[in-house]
Amino acid sequence: MKVLVLNCGSSTLKFQIIETSESGAVERKLARGIVDRIGGQASYHFEADGAAAVNNALVVRDHEAAVGLVIEWLGSKPGLKPIDAVGHRVVHGGDRFTSAVLIDDDVIATLEALCELAPLHNPGAVSGIRAARKILGDAIPMVAAFDTSFHHTIPQQAAIYAIPYELSQRHKIRRYGFHGLAHQHDIARYAELVGKPPTQVSAVTLHLGNGCSATAIRNGQSIDTSMGFTPLEGLVMGTRSGDVDPALVSYLARKERVDAAEIDNWLNKLSGLLGLSGISNDMRELTAAYQTNPRARLAVDVFCYRARKYLGAYLSILEGSAEAVIFSGGIGENSALVRKNILNAMAWCGIRLDDAANETMIGRDGRISAPQSKLDVFVIHTDEEAIIARETARVLEKK
């Protein structure tokens, strides 16, 4: 089945064409591209295997125009036609969508209602779905795959916040968790690499990119994850604070004479690595300045400390059943320094890095733990698009 995977953010559209099946056993990526800065003077980059890449800049007023641009380009590439299905990435599936779903009018109406829970993330996806349906019509089935659904197995004790129960009920407040497509991919890939079914592996996945989250996975299922009601909770991220004392919000609002929306902005956009270092949210710059700039060092150290704290907590709730720690995301895949700093001082639970493997495992999948390590440590390149394509095939093949 040839799937067009669409990942629409508020002002970007990324796509891939992936030939796959439910199992992903035989998978081929045929084309990929991005439209950036939708809503004004945009740029795009499209490339298909065996053809020259195209780059251009032009006004792209909305997602419909962006999807139109992609479809028109696909139409000019005979090898890419026909598309059998479209798989859409949607960040928030709320409590309604516990797995990928075939898109119909009812699903779109529910996704629109969910924009309230994910105002930064879901509107772009909904625009992309509407645009694709308008351009491609009903003949091509479309599936939505959610970043929250992998976490629907988190038990109530880990999902509920200790605030008045009625408030949680009234406003659907709970730990939803995010990055689910990434964690699902990473555990499936690890299982493949060690030759086991995903349902027989338990591990802690550390997905460290601009956004960062940790997940405790037991027998292939998420039982806890560090992002919560929103993607702000948990680990230190590029510009997000992760965990803070919730009393900071009202304290800072009073002291700085600003409203809650401003604090929200500080915690989401000006905190994390950027806020701590005062230099950058880019881990490459911070690790390069680690030896020479105390604030860069502070940011990296706090980032690694928080990740280690979650790792310890998750090894504990997995009750010793974890067999692996898995690093992914731009930082997890590429930074040997961050991996080492997180795992340093984890010898108490038998984790031993192979330093040479850690230094050289950059941007490729493989084991970085020493042979005597009690737990495997793996680096895995996250491929969310592949999971979306496989989920799309699964939904349609079942149908």
Q: Report the interface residues with ligand ADP, using CB under 6 A.
A: 209-211, 238, 282-284, 287, 329-331, 334-335
- Sequence-distant (≥ 6) Cβ neighbours of residue 47 within 8 angstroms: 31, 32, 33, 53, 54
Complex with ligand ADP: residue 66 or 331, whichever CB lies closer: 331
Which H or E element spans position 298? Answer: helix 294-317
Show the tokens assigned to 317: 């709730």
Q: Is the peptide bond before 197 cis (omega within 30 degrees of 0)?
A: no
Shortest separation between residue 237's beta carbon and ligand ADP, angstroms: 8
Shortest separation between residue 333's beta carbon and ligand ADP, angstroms: 7
Complex with ligand ADP: residue 63 or 207, whichever CB lies closer: 207
Complex with ligand ADP: residue 223 or 235, whichever CB lies closer: 235
Shortest separation between residue 307's beta carbon and ligand ADP, angstroms: 13
Sheet arrangement for strand 376-379: 221-225, 212-218, 203-208, 324-328, 376-379, 366-367
Number of continuous H segments (helices) and E segments (strands) in the chain: 15, 14
Given the DSSP bridges, would you call strands 221-225 and 212-218 parallel, antiparallel or unpaired?
antiparallel
Question: 341 - beta bridge partners?
Answer: none
In the chain the first and final C-alpha atoms are separated, in Å, by 14
Q: Which class for 91: exposed (0-12), middle (13-18), buried (19 or more C-beta within 10 A)?
A: buried
Pair 50, 60: CB distance under 8 Å: no
Whole-number Cα distances in Å, 162 to 159, 167, 249, 308: 10, 10, 18, 24
Shortest separation between residue 14's beta carbon and ligand ADP, angstroms: 10
Complex with ligand ADP: residue 306 or 394, whichever CB lies closer: 306
Shortest separation between residue 119's beta carbon and ligand ADP, angstroms: 19
Shortest separation between residue 209's beta carbon and ligand ADP, angstroms: 2
The residue with its CB nearest to ligand ADP is 330
Determine the residue type at 40.
Answer: G
Task: Kindly list the catalytic residues.
Answer: 147
Instruction: Return d(Cα 75, Cα 131) in angstroms, integer.
Output: 17
